[in-house]
Amino acid sequence: MNACAPAILDWNALDAAARAAALARPASAHDEALRRAVARILAQVRADGDHALHLLTRRYDGCELDALEVGDDEWAAAEAALPAALKAAIGEAHERIALFHRATAPGPVRVETAPGVVCERVPRPIARVGLYVPAGSAPLPSTALMLGVPAQIAGCTGIVLCTPPRARDGRCDEAVLYAARLCGIRRVFKLGGAQAIAAMAYGTASVPRCDKLFGPGNAWVTQAKLQVAAEPQGAAIDMPAGPSEVLAIADDAADARFVAADLLAQAEHGPDSQALLLSPQPALLEAVAGELERRCAALPRAAIARAALANARLIRTASLAQAAEISNAYAPEHLILNVREPRALLERIDAAGSVFLGAWSPESIGDYCSGTNHVLPTWGHARAWSGLSVASFQKQITVQELSADGLRAIGPCAATLARAEALEGHAAAVTLRLAALEAAA
């Protein structure tokens, strides 16, 4: 019996309820008990500031901190301790991520919409941004790059980063610190979970208050971000980036080992990760089930992957086109098109955080170093949200400038529309000037 591999479902034999169940996500980040517990943590930090942060860090991260902020000696020790090969890999990934993010950064736009009427859009960095780098089950220095690089390119000046400290020595992961420094980040706080989000949203004596919070995390982090964003005057958030998800579509050309490895790569993130495979090929589905079983057991994080595979689905579809339809309905964070003609299938895709085309584009490469961002919408939010980019760290301000001729040309249009809305004051701001121009002519 398969301890890891989920059963194979035939989509066209499922009724509507079974189909909905097959695409349902684990409700970890939206559980009512969690919601209440997170609200308590937020209130505690709001009321007691640093004192609450010390207490919550002792309770949830198992360490007693002298100072919440990483000091000079810890920065230096991290730099000294990191192996050269890891520093080089972080540097190499940084370069490619920066290359892609610079190329996709919005620049200023200027359009003359009528003679004498100039409209512009100018990007401005968000001043104070708060980045969250997960480190509960494993520190993720790659996430420090995915947050730090676009923040740096956007020109944000007040960057704060929070990441949970290690229980054994109360220090932050060395690679996270190294990646942060490479992105020009100088203020890192040893805080995790909902308390880190509260600290950055409200500010405390030690932690500066931020205008917008970024980064993925577990259910505590995601729920805390949703709650602070819903408060009046609360910090904005990037997106609800919760437990990792992958959906693969594969045909008979796919290597079952590659497909299974891609599913397990996301399953090992956490017990609430979700992995789906859609294929019209029963033989491939069977082979992937076998590979999942074999490979899951061999992973160091087998227990986590096994728990996540309880949420996994292997689904037989009538065709690749039907697989694309199901994928669009699910809107996965990561979509792998491991098929003979991935570009053709991509044409049918309209909702996914990031797409990986063909046999040689493993999802893990996007997690680390292809150049795209790995902070992506989960939970179906890819229907309406995009992954992080430089634009996420900016505001886009529009500007207009009219010459006298420009106002003469388009002023009557505005006055007519204003009167249609019974806003005579709006119309007067235009017609007064038009009259002044006529008088001066």
Ligand X SMILES: N[C@H](CO)Cc1c[nH]c[nH+]1
* Residues assigned a catalytic role: 333-334
Burial of 368 (0-12, 13-18, 19+ CB in 10 A): middle
Tell me if 367 contacts Zn ion by CB under 5 A. Answer: yes
Q: Which two tokens stand for residue 286?
A: 């069977």
Strands 187-190, 128-132: pairing is unpaired
Residue 183 gets which letter from DSSP?
T
Q: Is there a binding annotation on residue 132?
A: yes
Q: Which is nearer to ligand NAD, 284 or 308 (CB)?
A: 308
Is 65:57 a contact under the CB 8 Å cutoff?
yes
Stretch that binds Zn ion, among 198-206, 366-374, 391-399, 404-412 (CB under 5 A): 366-374
- Site residues for ligand X, 111-140, by CB under 6 A, read 140
CA distance 123 to 130: 19
CA distance 202 to 426: 39
Task: Decide which of ligand X, Zn ion, ligand NAD, none touches 136; Cβ closer than 5 to 8 Å per partner kind.
Answer: ligand NAD
- Site residues for ligand NAD, 373-412, by CB under 6 A, read 374-376, 378
Tell me if 381 contacts ligand X by CB under 6 A. Answer: no
Stretch that binds Zn ion, among 10-18, 130-138, 362-370, 377-385 (CB under 5 A): 362-370
CA distance 242 to 205: 29
CA distance 128 to 132: 14
CB of 271 to ligand X, least distance (A): 14
Q: Is there a binding annotation on residue 202?
A: no
Q: Residue 249's closest CA among 382, 341, 118? A: 341
Tell me if 143 contacts ligand X by CB under 6 A. Answer: yes
Q: Which is nearer to ligand X, 244 or 338 (CB)?
A: 244
38, 53, 269, 286, 374 from 367: Cα distances, Å: 28, 30, 12, 27, 5
Exactly one of 244, 338, 370, 394 binds ligand X (CB under 6 A); which one?
244
Size of the site for ligand X (CB under 6 A): 9
Tell me if 342 contacts ligand NAD by CB under 6 A. Answer: no
Could you tell me which residues are annotated as the binding site for NAD(+)?
Answer: 132, 195, 218
Interface ranges with ligand X (CB under 6 A): 140, 142-143, 244, 266, 269, 333, 367, 374
